[in-house]
Amino acid sequence: MNRRQLLAGGAGALLASAAAAETRFRDLPEAAFANSPDTQVPERPTQGLEYNPVVTLNGWSLPWRMNGNVKEFHLVAEPVERIMADGMIARLWGYNGQSTGPTIEAVEGERVRIYVTNRLPEHTTVHWHGLILPSGMDGVGGLSHHAIPPGKTFVYEFDLTKSGTFMYHPHADEMVQMAMGMMGLFIVHPRDPAFMPVDRDFAFLLAAYDIDPGTYVPRVAEMTNFNMWTWNSRVFPNIDSLVVNKGDRVRVRCGNLTITNHPIHMHGYHFEVTGTDGGWVPQSARWPEVSIDIPVGAMRAYEFDAVHEGDWAIHCHKSHHTMNAMGHDLPTFIGADKAKLTQMIRRQQPGHMPMGTAGMADMGEMSMELPDNTVPMMTGWGPYGPLEMGGMFSVVKVREGIARDDYSDPGWYQNPPGTQAWEWTGELPEELRQTNAETVIIPKSHLNHSH
């Protein structure tokens, strides 16, 4: 059986028919593992309650089985290797072969039983962020229950009392385990499939790492100086596009498990926040936005009608978060004349390139020699040249005629004639300028006449 069938709940169907109907499974559900960082589009469920699955960017959804009336999952906490981008592997901790972990999807009103096996070298727990559940299932090590020792399996079991956008992560040695990439999405679909339906439902988590170029393991004690700003532990240009059919109603769910806020900005549209990890936002409380700030430890779901065709950037608006490694402690050379210095350096190092005297855009085009296992600070090529981006950046690709469950890359957008910026080659009108650079200060004597 392949993983796709597993994802569709096929495993549950097969196992269920093999077992006597009333007998509870005595064994753990088989744990599924993913070894690819590509977006795995889940098939629609063929058994159990109906729902419209989410598409986890560069991720996948955890297979489940029905055991009586309980939906059973098996999470395995373990060290993983994550391909953050072509040419860069990170040695992280995650779940079922990947960081971020697989998305758990279930339906409001269902009871879930989640087996958690710990294959880490230290204890862990799982906290179910935003879900309403018994105190003893809340996953705070030492407070809710004993932490799960290495090699042991614990069971979490609770009813899903409401639908929404939630997540899971450890609450044991939390600083280290989250800095190592342990996190995943937990989506509870509405019981009524007609409640706030969408055609496409994307989801991703924001995670930040500090991985020195040439190394593999994040520095877990870092508080501010991260250099890998990721969506689902991937950086541009290796974050998959959000492929959308023109006219679709689209939801994007985004959660922040870094230690700073991220204003996520999407071009070409305005949209409304329709949900948080606290629940759905009533219609009367929504307002239009083009950037939404995602606070630390929070989730936002926003929606829009995809009526504008094109390739639309979606990115964090903190410009340092659309960059990759190589450090941000570069000196500023704008306006400096490095010609003489370059001559001197080239006597020692013939290939030396003077950089940054006219800005840093040249870094997006040059293929400099990099240390092993890193990605350029600014990279990625579009149809018209380098994008000079990295980190938290992707493209929403809205096209006519994309089939319902097709998420394959449609390529670059062809701008219709007359709808693209062009070079002006004719006469220029006189340029108007404020020529006086000085601030004009009105003498006090002119202001105080009334006194």
In the bound complex, what is the minimum distance in angstroms from residue 236's beta carbon to Cu ion? 12
- 125 versus 230: smaller Cβ distance to Cu ion: 230
Is residue 300 a contact point for Cu ion (CB under 5 A)? no
DSSP 384-395: TEEEEE-BSEEE
In the bound complex, what is the minimum distance in angstroms from residue 242's beta carbon to Cu ion? 17
Is residue 318 a contact point for Cu ion (CB under 5 A)? yes
Region of 194-202, 284-292, 314-322, 426-434 interacting with Cu ion (CB under 5 A)? 314-322
Give residues with Cβ within 8 angstroms of 168, minimum separation 6: 75, 101, 104, 126, 127, 128, 129, 139, 183, 184, 185, 186
Number of other residues whose CB lies within 10 A of the CB of residue 199 = 15
Task: Region of 139 please: left (phi>0), alpha (psi -120 to 50) or beta.
Answer: left
Sign of the Cα pseudo-torsion (68, 71, 74, 77, in order): negative
In the bound complex, what is the minimum distance in angstroms from residue 277's beta carbon to Cu ion? 18
In the bound complex, what is the minimum distance in angstroms from residue 238's beta carbon to Cu ion? 17
Count residues contacting Cu ion (CB under 5 A)?
A: 4
Region of 186-194, 259-267, 337-345, 347-355 interacting with Cu ion (CB under 5 A)? 259-267
In the bound complex, what is the minimum distance in angstroms from residue 315's beta carbon to Cu ion? 8
In the bound complex, what is the minimum distance in angstroms from residue 314's beta carbon to Cu ion? 12
Binding mask 363-382 for Cu ion (x = CB under 5 A): --------------------
- 145 versus 318: smaller Cβ distance to Cu ion: 318
- 112 versus 235: smaller Cβ distance to Cu ion: 235
CA distances, 126 to each of 98, 171, 290, 440 (Å): 16, 6, 34, 62
DSSP E strands: which ranges in 37-122? 55-56, 65-67, 70-85, 88-95, 104-107, 111-118
In the bound complex, what is the minimum distance in angstroms from residue 212's beta carbon to Cu ion? 20
3-state helix, strand, coil in the chain (%, to 5): 10, 35, 55
- Are 338 and 357 within 8 A, CB to CB? yes
Q: Among candidates 159, 157, 162, 158, which has minimal Cα distance to 190?
A: 162
Region of 291-299, 321-329, 374-382, 429-437 interacting with Cu ion (CB under 5 A)? 321-329
CA distances, 395 to each of 83, 212, 310, 398 (Å): 20, 27, 10, 9
Region of 238-246, 271-279, 303-311, 313-321 interacting with Cu ion (CB under 5 A)? 313-321
Region of 37-45, 106-114, 146-154, 319-327 interacting with Cu ion (CB under 5 A)? 319-327
- Are 242 and 314 within 8 A, CB to CB? yes
Distance of alpha carbon 348 from alpha carbon 379, whole angstroms? 29
Is residue 315 a contact point for Cu ion (CB under 5 A)? no
In the bound complex, what is the minimum distance in angstroms from residue 319's beta carbon to Cu ion? 9
Backbone angles phi, psi at 13, to 5 degrees: -65, -45
Give residues with Cβ within 8 angstroms of 355, minimum separation 6: 333, 362, 363
In the bound complex, what is the minimum distance in angstroms from residue 122's beta carbon to Cu ion? 29
CB-facing half-sphere around the CA of 324: CA atoms within 13 A:
28
Q: In this structure, what token pair is assigned to residue 190?
A: 């509405």
- 319 versus 408: smaller Cβ distance to Cu ion: 319
Backbone angles phi, psi at 386, to 5 degrees: -70, 140
Is residue 262 a contact point for Cu ion (CB under 5 A)? yes
Binding mask 57-96 for Cu ion (x = CB under 5 A): ----------------------------------------
Is residue 316 a contact point for Cu ion (CB under 5 A)? yes
- 148 versus 292: smaller Cβ distance to Cu ion: 292
Region of 5-13, 68-76, 84-92, 312-320 interacting with Cu ion (CB under 5 A)? 312-320
In the bound complex, what is the minimum distance in angstroms from residue 75's beta carbon to Cu ion? 28
Task: Region of 196 please: left (phi>0), alpha (psi -120 to 50) or beta.
Answer: left
- 65 versus 315: smaller Cβ distance to Cu ion: 315
How does strand 379-382 pair with strand 385-389?
antiparallel
- 162 versus 317: smaller Cβ distance to Cu ion: 317
Question: Which of 321, 325, 390, 394 contacts Cu ion by CB under 5 A?
Answer: 321
- Are 185 and 206 within 8 A, CB to CB? no
CA distances, 338 to each of 233, 274, 278, 344, 367 (Å): 38, 52, 55, 10, 21
- 73 versus 226: smaller Cβ distance to Cu ion: 226
Region of 96-104, 108-116, 257-265, 338-346 interacting with Cu ion (CB under 5 A)? 257-265
Region of 285-293, 294-302, 303-311, 316-324 interacting with Cu ion (CB under 5 A)? 316-324
In the bound complex, what is the minimum distance in angstroms from residue 219's beta carbon to Cu ion? 19
- Are 160 and 131 within 8 A, CB to CB? yes
Q: Where does this chain bind Cu ion (CB under 5 A)?
A: 262, 316, 318, 321
